[in-house]
Structure 1
Amino acid sequence: MLERSSSRPDDAGRPSHDEEMTAAPGVRTELAGFPPQSSSDDDTNRKNMALLIQLRWIAVVGQIATIGAVYLWLGIALPLVPMGAVIAALVALNIASLAWMWRHAEITNHELLVALMLDVAALTVQLYLSGGATNPFTSLFLLQVTLGAVLLDARSTWSLVALTCASFVWLTLAYRPLDLPQNPLSDTYSLTVVGMLVGFALNAVLLVVFVTRINRNLRERDAHLAALRQHAAEQDHIVRMGLLASGAAHELGTPLASLSVILSDWRRMPDLAADHELAEDLSEMETSLQRCKSIVTGILVSAGEARGEGSSPTTVTAFLTALVEEWRNARSARTLYFTNAFGEDVAIVSDIALKQVIFNVLDNGYEVSREWVELIAEREGDNLVLSISDRGPGFAPEMLAQLGKPYQSSKGRAGGGLGLFLVVNVVRKLGGTVTAENHRKRGATVRLVLPLSTLAIGGGFDA
């Protein structure tokens, strides 16, 4: 490794790439790629409608079993034809609901309310045909109300409460009384107690099963919305940093140009040119200045563009080889070990954003492990996999848990930790993933998985 002497500025005196990479060029910051909140609600409503359809199938089977037991075992006369017609109507409703769900992408609160009201109406008719309010299965009204309270908004829930209360009142005034035979098995009190027990057990079981599943759907929706809000906050953060970087790049252009002119004049002065040590220092200063100008130019060229003027056709091998050579030369570092195990070469687009992402991870590794950094390129299916390893202290457990979140840094600098945050966001825009893990003894590995389809010509951040 060729290190600079202590009399010259070295990499320790420059900002780390966490701070240098203030904005990922080429990242499109609009939120059009994220599903709107309504789509998340609709997905949850579809799941909940499917649960109501399942519950209706259970109601169909339960009603057939109950009617059969009461009619055949207890010998109680029931109006089988009208009750069978209600069951047939529930079956037809379920078939129609499934067909409707298949044809319509959106399910709203209104559709859920209608489904629950139809279930209440079917239960009311069955109770009317089998004793009205004296039937112990009137407790099943509470199941519908509870489901409504969990699934619907407040106004719809109260509408359902009003319907169930009105149905119960109507069942106390108008119903078809049961003709109970005179035998020990049909004692009115005993039948009522048994019916209340069965109704209570049925209510309890169905509430636990379906409310638990509905709550799971709602938690999944809340988690999805929280992720969308986090993504939106990250995108806003990138927009603000991009504006800051663009403004800083414009402001730095003039002083960098002035410094370039001054250095060029100094190198032409005979007295300075005769001093070989000073001439060497001037040459190194000019190299560093050119690197600063290159960074500023890269920001200005590619900021706000997915594949702009800073992009050019290349291949995976050529891109990585040039990238490694540029990184070594810019940092005077020869301890980067590159292994290309990608296999057959593939045509891609050389993109400044992707190059800065890889530079960022390499710089982070070099900062904690100057004696050894390794880059391995592999192919896994249709993905390019880049593994960057070092022999530093590794990541703290809390950093691994919060990988990709802004201001998660072990360097103790105010505003640090933006590098990996931008790496994760750029790679995610490319459809890839970023993972990190610590080695058992010492060091860590950051793994970038990038789909070749988005790196190919015609792919990109908007793919």
Structure 2
Amino acid sequence: MLLTPKNTNKLQLIIKLRFIAVFIQIILILFVNLGLDYHLPTVPLFAIICAELVFTSASFFYHKSNIYTLTALSNTKAIFIQICADLLFLSLILYFSGGATNAFVSLLLIPIAIAAVSLTSTLLVIIAILAAVSYSLLLWQLPMSVMHGNMEGHFIGMWINFLLSASVVALVVGKMARNINQHKIAIATYRENLLKQEQVMSLGVASAQVTHQLATPISTVQLLADELLEDMPENSIVKDMQTELLRCKKSLEAFRQITFNIKAQTLLPTLCEDILKQIADHIALNYPDIILKQTHNNKVLTDKAIEADASLLPAILNLMNNAIRATKANNNNTIELSSDINTHLWQLEIRDFGTGFSTEKMAELGTKPVESKQGLGMAVFLSYTTLERLGGKLTLTNHKGGGALVTLTLPIYVKKR
């Protein structure tokens, strides 16, 4: 998944903060040397700062030009590299400015804090270990002359204090950051579901209005067709018209029944075999030119049922109709349907022989209504919402042999004792 510029703010902020840190380091070195008359080795220190500045500038321009190609994984790796660089540069500056006796040695905790809010738990542990190793090396390289008197115990105490501080920062800040992220994800999911329900409600209201408006003209045409049939009982056109009007009337009645069932939240056990039979009957009746190849594990499907309402079958038929349209658009007439039981889940796969989904279309289908010449977006969106409401899942992929593959999973009904 590609990241948006908003999601790369942490990486950009780390790089920009290092520019500020470089400026502060220069000011402090000049102040210590000129203001406090404490002679630091300016050549190695400014060499390190120059290297830090070059690395930071290169990172800034590199990630600025590649901002739209970053993925979540590469963004995390980039942040990890930047934090490791911070540890390296800071450790080198501390090494040439007093090592563990430097008053700013506690700054080694900052990379741990940044890692706690930016990286995974594994990478956070690595950063914490690297910081502890850095502090330990800085302490170990101190000359023996510094360890006179009781100073050895003092420095060991500082080392233990740093390890404890690093552990507390990693655990507490990391835990708090993960809790905040979980809350943000939960809020985002809630908003997404709320928006989806609003869209479904709008579609439901529009559908009810259209259904109500169609009922009267269909009844009127039905009366006219009945009169024509009395006058011309042998006319095949009038008979065909009667048949199609009857289908429209049954569809409206089924829509009303689905609406009542959903409103009453009526969930009933439905055999998987009955659903498969209804799908086959639908295709045989409405698409006689389509060849339906079925592959079902009948041994495990026997007597298996799912808990659903009247909206499930239309949701599946929507997907079947889309698959048939995609197949026909690609000058083919074959649809593959397979089902099996996988860890207490009924899995139904619909494969068409069309051109498949594009990357952009696959990312949008099901999550919101999408404009499409073949009418894919709206039907998939409604089917996705229906399956989600019934505790199921809809997955869209491209089949390796060509065409699209739609996978539905629904929990198997378990009779309560």
TM-score category of the 2 structures, normalised to the smaller one = 0.5 to 0.7
Cα gap change, 1:357/1:412 in structure 2, threshold over 3 Å: closer, same or farther? closer
- Alpha-carbon distance in 2 for matches of 1:316, 1:304: 23
Deviation (angstroms), 1:296:
1.4
Residues 1:225 and 2:187 are matched in the alignment: yes
Give the SS at the match of 1:281. Answer: helix
Give the SS at the match of 1:453. Answer: coil
Alignment-derived partner of residue 342 in structure 2: 380
Residues 1:342 and 2:295 are matched in the alignment: no
Cα gap change, 1:411/1:204 in structure 2, threshold over 3 Å: closer, same or farther? same
In terms of fraction of residues, the more helix-rich structure is 2
Higher-Rg member (1/2): 1
Question: What is the aligned-residue identity percentage?
Answer: 25
Deviation (angstroms), 1:226:
0.5
Residues 94-123 of structure 1: CA distance to partner in whole angstroms, max 9, x if unpaired? xxxxxxxxxxxxxxxxxxxxxxxxxxxxxx
- Alpha-carbon distance in 2 for matches of 1:309, 1:246: 18
Q: 1:448 aligns with which of 398, 402, 408?
A: 408
- Alpha-carbon distance in 2 for matches of 1:333, 1:230: 40
Contact 2:347 2:410 in 1 (8 A): yes
Structure 1 residue identity aligned to 2:392: G
- Alpha-carbon distance in 2 for matches of 1:247, 1:264: 26
Deviation (angstroms), 1:252:
1.2
Query: What does 1:342-381 correspond to in 2, within 5 Å?
Result: 342-343=298-299, 344-346=302-304, 351-370=309-328, 371-381=333-343
- Alpha-carbon distance in 1 for matches of 2:410, 2:214: 33
Structure 1 residue identity aligned to 2:204: G
Q: 2:387 aligns with which of 417, 427, 449?
A: 427
Deviation (angstroms), 1:372:
0.8
- Alpha-carbon distance in 2 for matches of 1:280, 1:311: 42
Alignment-derived partner of residue 210 in structure 2: 248
Give the SS at the match of 2:181. Answer: helix
Query: What does 1:149-160 correspond to in 2, within 5 Å?
Result: none
Deviation (angstroms), 1:410:
4.2
Alignment-derived partner of residue 219 in structure 2: 257
- Alpha-carbon distance in 2 for matches of 1:351, 1:213: 42
- Alpha-carbon distance in 1 for matches of 2:264, 2:214: 22
Number of equivalences: 273
Which 5+ residue runs of structure 2 have no aligned equivalent? 1-102, 118-146
Q: 2:201 aligns with which of 225, 235, 239?
A: 239
Residues 309-349 of structure 1: CA distance to partner in whole angstroms, max 9, x if unpaired? 99887633233213321342134444233344232233567
TM-score for both structures, normalised by structure 2? 0.56
Which 5+ residue runs of structure 1 have no aligned equivalent? 1-135, 151-182, 459-463
Residues 1:283 and 2:239 are matched in the alignment: yes
Give the SS at the match of 1:405. Answer: coil
- Alpha-carbon distance in 2 for matches of 1:351, 1:194: 69
Alignment-derived partner of residue 186 in structure 1: 150
- Alpha-carbon distance in 1 for matches of 2:372, 2:253: 30
Alignment-derived partner of residue 257 in structure 2: 301
Contact 1:337 1:372 in 2 (8 A): yes
TM-score for both structures, normalised by structure 1? 0.51
Q: 1:316 aligns with which of 252, 263, 272?
A: 272
Residues 119-155 of structure 1: CA distance to partner in whole angstroms, max 9, x if unpaired? xxxxxxxxxxxxxxxxx9xx9xx99xx99xx9xxxxx
Deviation (angstroms), 1:221:
1.8
Aligned-residue CA RMSD (Å): 3.7
Structure 2 residue identity aligned to 1:326: H
Contact 2:290 2:335 in 1 (8 A): no
The structure showing larger relative contact order (alpha-carbon pairs under 8 Å, at least 6 residues apart) is 1
